[in-house]
């Protein structure tokens, strides 16, 4: 049965559960963490205890065994309050979860995937390099064989959660072929205690200091050759496939951020009075709110469509790119207008909308810039 909210009862209950979690565990800690520039490590355990970490990971590997529709709901509702925990959930279920679940060996799933989601471990993926961002296949980090070990050398940037991660996947070249054909994914457990692996710095970001984005140096890092995830040389396709899922996560973040900014704008426009009436009675404000409502709902429906396609077992490169691009562009527009509706208060840090605006900007860039995602969409139009 579909309810008037468009949610099946199980998804409606799940959404209420996430909202309760956000009210009790996330909302009270956002301000302090943001002010101190502290990554919310403690929240990850609480997410796990509440069944909100390994959402799409099968129960046999420590997850919740839920669908991507639930993933979309959780990431959206968390982002509506604070994007950082939503980003942790999204990355662990998508880039890391998908890579291990779909392409890892049974041993890797048993050993790594299960531990990540049983112990609520923080995960990271080292893909982007200074000269290989949008052109991901141009990466230069190498993993050369030495006996039954791999020796990894290179430099990465934008490794989210790197310095707090308990498990990391590095994307590196394991052959001489060039292009995307000799790229492999390599699992590195306990990356904080690996010789030659250095988290050089936490890149200061527009989003704020609580977010962790590392520059990472790999200087002769040795791991067993069994740490290659799935087939050697297939890593580029694996990470592209995982990025399809990650882009649905980014889309859900965009929807949540936009919804959070819209909620705040509605409250503010109702309370704030100028010229003896609430500012929502001025068309200059009320039309902004109407546009926000239309665009947020359109972005949500596109994201749900992408998630449902993934649940149906379809390849979702086009759908995920469409949802990601549209929803994150909406997030940027809505948050910018939300600051405007709040006037000078919106420009201050006393209200949450300036943070939503900073959060929105990142979503247009990570998980593939919106320009690259438009390229992915248009490529699929000619198939
Ligand atoms: N799922 C499965 N396979 C995929 C895929 C996907 N979503 N996307 C591409 N592939 C495969 C292609 O089918 C192709 O395989 P074949 O060699 O068998 O034909 C191979 O991967 C290479 O694809 P393509 O030629 O399209 O690769 P490009 O080097 O042109 O790169 C883009 C494509 C630009 C789309 C890719 O580099 C990209 O997404 N860049 C952005 C990177 C990004 O999102 N970074 C953010 C990281 S956040 S951790």
d(CA 241, CA 95): 9
Measured in Å, residue 359 CA sits from the centre of ligand 1 at 26
Q: Given this model, what pLDDT does residue 7 score?
A: 80
Of the residues 159, 243, 247, 320, which should be mutated to test ligand 1's pocket, given the most ligand atoms within 8 Å of the CB? 243
Q: Given this model, what pLDDT does residue 176 score?
A: 87
Nearest CA to ligand 1 atom 5: 240
Return the closest-CA partner of residue 257 out of 246, 269, 249.
249
Q: Which residues contact 27 (CB under 8 A, 6 or more apart)?
A: 81, 82
User: Quick one: fold of 123-233?
Assistant: Butyryl-CoA Dehydrogenase, subunit A; domain 2 (2.40.110)
For the annotated catalytic residues, the residue numbers are 367
Q: Given this model, what pLDDT does residue 1 score?
A: 45
- Compute CA distances 77 → 18, 124, 252, 365, whole Å: 7, 22, 9, 21
Nearest CA to ligand 1 atom 12: 237
Rounded to a whole number, what is the largest CA-CA distance in the chain?
Answer: 79
- Cβ proximity of 338 and 265 under 8 Å: yes
Nearest CA to ligand 1 atom 45: 368
Ligand 1 atom nearest to 160, measured from its CA:
49
Q: Which residues contact 277 (CB under 8 A, 6 or more apart)?
A: none
Write out the CATH class of domain 9-118.
mainly alpha
Q: Computed from CA positions of residues 128, 133, 134, 139, in that sequence, does the dihedral angle turn out positive or negative? A: negative
d(CA 302, CA 13): 22
Nearest CA to ligand 1 atom 4: 237
> Buried b / exposed e across 27-61, counting CB within 10 Å, b at 16+?
eebbeebbeeeebbeebbebbbeebbbbbbbbeeb
Ligand 1 atom nearest to 236, measured from its CA:
21
Measured in Å, residue 172 CA sits from the centre of ligand 1 at 15
Ligand 1 atom nearest to 379, measured from its CA:
26
Task: Tell me how crowded residue 129 is: count the other CB atoms within 10 A of its CB.
Answer: 20
pLDDT tens digits for the chain (383 residues)?
444 456 889 999 999 999 999 999 999 999 999 999 999 999 999 999 999 999 999 999 999 999 999 999 999 999 999 999 999 999 999 999 999 999 999 999 999 999 999 999 999 999 999 999 999 999 999 999 999 999 999 999 999 999 999 999 999 999 988 889 999 999 999 999 999 999 999 999 999 999 999 999 999 999 999 999 999 999 999 999 999 999 999 999 999 999 999 999 999 999 999 999 999 999 999 999 999 999 999 999 999 999 999 999 999 999 999 999 999 999 999 999 999 999 999 999 999 999 999 999 999 999 999 999 999 999 999 98
Nearest CA to ligand 1 atom 39: 368
Residue 197 has φ and ψ, to the nearest 5°, of: -105, 115
- Compute CA distances 232 → 108, 174, 187, whole Å: 14, 7, 12
Q: Where are the domains of the chain?
A: 9-118, 123-233, 236-381
0.85 exceeded by pTM? yes
Of the residues 97, 123, 127, 137, which should be mutated to test ligand 1's pocket, given the most ligand atoms within 8 Å of the CB? 137
Q: Given this model, what pLDDT does residue 179 score?
A: 86
Ligand 1 atom nearest to 138, measured from its CA:
29
Q: Given this model, what pLDDT does residue 6 score?
A: 67
d(CA 56, CA 211): 24
Q: Given this model, what pLDDT does residue 4 score?
A: 47
Measured in Å, residue 302 CA sits from the centre of ligand 1 at 22
CB-defined site of ligand 1, < 6 Å? 95, 125, 127-128, 134-137, 180, 236-237, 240-241, 243-244, 317, 366-368, 372, 376
- Does the domain made of 236-381 have the CATH classification 3.40.50.2300? no
Q: Given this model, what pLDDT does residue 178 score?
A: 82
Q: Given this model, what pLDDT does residue 119 score?
A: 98
Of the residues 125, 136, 216, which should be mutated to test ligand 1's pocket, given the most ligand atoms within 8 Å of the CB? 136
Measured in Å, residue 169 CA sits from the centre of ligand 1 at 17
Residue 116 has φ and ψ, to the nearest 5°, of: -55, -45
Nearest CA to ligand 1 atom 18: 237
Nearest CA to ligand 1 atom 15: 237
Task: Tell me how crowded residue 153 is: count the other CB atoms within 10 A of its CB.
Answer: 16
Ligand 1 atom nearest to 128, measured from its CA:
47
């Amino acid at each position: 049965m579909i309810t008037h909210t468009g949610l099946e009862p199980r998804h409606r209950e799940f959404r209420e559960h996430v909202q309760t979690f956000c009210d009790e565990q996330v909302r009270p800690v956002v301000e302090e963490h943001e002010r101190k520039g502290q990554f919310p490590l403690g929240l990850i355990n609480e997410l796990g205890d509440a069944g909100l970490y390994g959402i799409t990971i099968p129960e046999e590997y420590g997850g919740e065994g839920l669908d991507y529709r639930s993933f979309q709901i959780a990431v959206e509702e968390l982002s509506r309050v604070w994007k950082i925990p939503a980003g942790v959930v999204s990355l662990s279920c998508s880039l890391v979860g998908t890579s291990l679940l779909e392409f890892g060996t049974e041993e890797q799933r048993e050993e790594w995937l299960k531990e990540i989601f049983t112990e609520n471990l923080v995960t990271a993926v080292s893909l982007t390099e200074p000269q290989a961002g949008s052109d991901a296949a141009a990466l230069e980090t190498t993993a050369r064989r030495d006996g039954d070990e791999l020796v990894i050398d290179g430099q990465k940037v934008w490794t989210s959660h790197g310095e707090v991660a308990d498990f990391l996947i590095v994307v590196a070249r394991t052959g001489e072929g060039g292009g995307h054909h000799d790229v492999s994914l390599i699992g590195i457990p306990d990356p904080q205690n690996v010789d030659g692996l250095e988290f050089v710095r936490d890149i200061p970001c527009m989003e704020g200091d609580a977010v962790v984005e590392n520059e990472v140096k790999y200087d002769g890092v040795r791991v067993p050759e069994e740490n290659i995830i799935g087939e050697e040389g297939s890593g580029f396709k694996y990470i592209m496939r995982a990025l399809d899922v990650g882009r649905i996560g980014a889309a859900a973040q965009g929807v949540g951020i936009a919804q959070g900014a819209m909620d705040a704008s509605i409250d503010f426009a109702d309370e704030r009075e100028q010229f003896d009436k609430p500012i929502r009675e001025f068309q200059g404000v009320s039309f902004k709110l109407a546009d926000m409502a239309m665009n947020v709902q359109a972005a949500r429906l596109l994201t749900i469509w992408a998630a449902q396609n993934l649940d149906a077992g379809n390849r979702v490169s086009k759908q995920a790119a469409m949802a990601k691009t549209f929803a994150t562009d909406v997030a940027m527009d809505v948050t910018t207008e939300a600051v405007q509706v709040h006037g000078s208060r919106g420009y201050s840090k006393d209200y949450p909308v300036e943070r939503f605006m900073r959060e929105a900007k990142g979503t247009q860039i990570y998980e593939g810039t919106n320009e690259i995602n438009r390229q992915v969409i248009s490529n699929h139009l000619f198939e």
